[in-house]
Chain A
């Protein structure tokens, strides 16, 4: 304790420079006076007394120095002095400092941005209380990847049987609903949760409370903070009042905090209702009490002191017990735990690979930036060789000089880090504004948190040290005799491969990788834009409604949609209109296996995409009908008809005519009445999938769509201009109907291009930054190399070398470096771009165009970077060159 106090006092004295030097001096002087007085009293003369006193004190200066060292902390003082000196040096070379800070800043900013993504999507714990003891309990099933969710009876069994957990809570997503109140009703997505959900997750309400056990089936609602603010102006008196949810009255009991959107952090849940009310709100939960109906997400809170491994072991035992008790439903079922809030499995692989690829790119950018700055500092070290040599000659230790140069590079990189944070703030804002093609709302906002700032700080520190090592080493070893004679103090005889050459080779090699990745993803974007989606996207307006959540029966839904279609078709400028359960490329999908009816023994189409379509679908979408007819007014209770796409027909019937044939799938027989052209279904990059279109009127009853139903309108003019008129038609039929997902087909497609566009933008931006940095670095190094050899060139020219020869000589050197770098970088790029394979559309990762263009382009840049200084070298007058040094 006492030592700490003393240490702090000394730190303060060292940092503030508040050293009571005068005080110490006065004290020692007074000590001497006392001593001299004593000496004189004992009979010595003044001179002798003073001499003796000084001897006993051990010398005035030495003692004063000893006291001063005790007053402060010498090493901190030295550090502070180095810091001030470094700052002054950096301020003196403003241009170099600015370039260095901007280069490192871009490199660090790129890294901070990608790390923000990692922090947000991979590292951040769930926004619940004590996330370390909350586990997601997932179901597993031997043999396939189904059944992450648990059936209601299994959840209940776990609650009574599992001893490792203090409690379990269950939730179900998604609950689509239409929220009423002031203004137009709004489509919102919620979760149905067990009544103990907010206790188990330990989420504190902003206002009100969570649910209580008696409210399991009550119409109660907890609103998300954002919905509360947007729709109800953040009115605190809303608690206890009721709001309109899909036409029913729900009493508001609480407001959930803004940071909580769901345990699954990418979901954007806007409200929570008790699990027991889900039956009314979600039309397709008919078997919610069955032991083989997997629909609940379950979280469990570990008891204090119980480890996850213990819990896993207990769950494994329970799984075995349930399998024995309920062989019909639970055989081969198991449990698996995940930290609550971990990325869902289907997402994880893609995200991790994508982020890993990005991280490689941004680390390359940073490495190039550091190499550049190291080169700059090298040049500076040469310029400062005299200063260093003088300091060495005056007795400064080499360690001291090294520390000085390192301090400068660390200061530079910390400055770059600060710049990088600003850059990254902007970049994450931009990233947050992108939309992912998804049927449910996702929360993809990215922000900088403490972890990102800490990472950025560490990265700055490490890069500062790394980039400073070489220049520091060089600066601390000036060749004394050379330097004092005014010659190059860093040049050593017989050394052709300087560290600078190594740096530049590394830099060009890294640029090859960067440039290849960048070109590859730009090519990918271009090829994605050329993908034939199979339908005509111009002049189309999409708009969705969900009558089911407004309490409409199947028949009424059907009638409403048909009326809407007719009204929309009659609008001026409209060519045709149709209804579907979801337009292609919406991200969601429904599929079934199909066989030729009567031949169930062999599955010919294991998985065909299912779409509902009303009459006018193929004309409106611009999908060609290759054979047969489209839907007309099919009778809901009539024999089922279907239209299949070309891929489906070929798969099942080969070259035979499918019209009139019957197929079987999903417990229905369909008569094929038409064959349509192929379209993209789930994503742009997919291979053509078999598709079966059902009649909307015939299938709307048993297969309610989570997405609601989409009205598609084709117009001759600007589709966006039609929006108001179509909305009016909806409100004319039902003024309380919530309209959502309103967009033109072009907008819809832009969202579908999300991945190739995001990849191209990210790789393009970061690759571009890296390339510019590398080009600047290459140019800087080459021109520096030439300027250093001005004297040698002068001699050569004086000896009769011609201009062309000098140019060739300089060029050859630069191109040799480039060639070596290409030989290293090209194979590296070849291997690394394979990582990108899963993000590419229609081009191979080893795209020939990319792998030829990248090196050629870099050679060109190198050529320019060498040619300009080469020309300058050749224009040097021999006499001038000889005189310069």
Chain B
């Protein structure tokens, strides 16, 4: 489905627009306050951008350092070329552990490769423990709509109603958000204490030390990372940071950009396996899954710098109107519009680079300064060149206009024709515009005709 068609559907949902508008308005204002507190915010962004670019430019070395350090600390490192390979590794570990259930920390990478569905096919149930992921998982017809808060399209009343029909059946939860949180706590508590295997994603993997970092709020992450006997972490290869010191940059950039707090409630950092503390077995799966394909594009590869904070979604006027589901990807919003077509291939999502007005709000807030508008323009060019016929009406109109603009004589002739409703400039007068908007009265003379009349051709 094209973005236009998918957006037309979601735009009909007034409740969704209200919910998303309310949440993003709140978080936008909070983010501004959180960022304004740091006098060196712009310098942190500069550092964040350069660290990511440097990590990408030295990626083979960084990944090998990471593997060596994790292995030295008692962990096992696996490499997966694609999602199927990663899913098979997770399933084989679960089978060896002998469990038909795993608990999960929210992870976009696992959503991207549809790990839950793959495990289900092997008879292993993957239980989402993040509140928003749980909300989405409890409703078979629902889908994630935000990077940070997958259930952002649901308001408190809807979540309460869902819980009262599922995990808190027969109870009345009341209107307090804390009662909703309590219901999730009771539902998951026993699972945390008994399930022998957990699966997580990773916010960072530090090549220098082999340390993995997970940033979260609820404590479900800590439960999964600490209590089960076996921990499997799936990490996209772009998540590697060269040095321990780099944490000082990202632990400032990420929380203030994502939940707009000085710091998120919990950050877990661990290195391999620690005697008498946490899992006995640790597996790190390094996933390509299209990332090397993104890396091939010198302009587009900056999309790999993304730290999944979701600030660009929260400021995007397009996202705010259509919601995340219109992007038909686990990566919605502005970052999704440049990441999804590159990860899956331009032919799989050719309309996404146009899902933006190029207003620039995303670039303004990006903590690692990904120039999303420029990458959108670049990808539009690639779609036009690589995916489309040179004979589409648009391509012909663009060619016609370029020809008309090439000389003054042709340009002035086109202006005269346009006043008669003909020629390349008139065709460019955007068909469909007047379905919903009026066009201005065409002026009696162009500016240049006025100038020539008043000032002469000299």
Q: A and B from one assembly? A: no
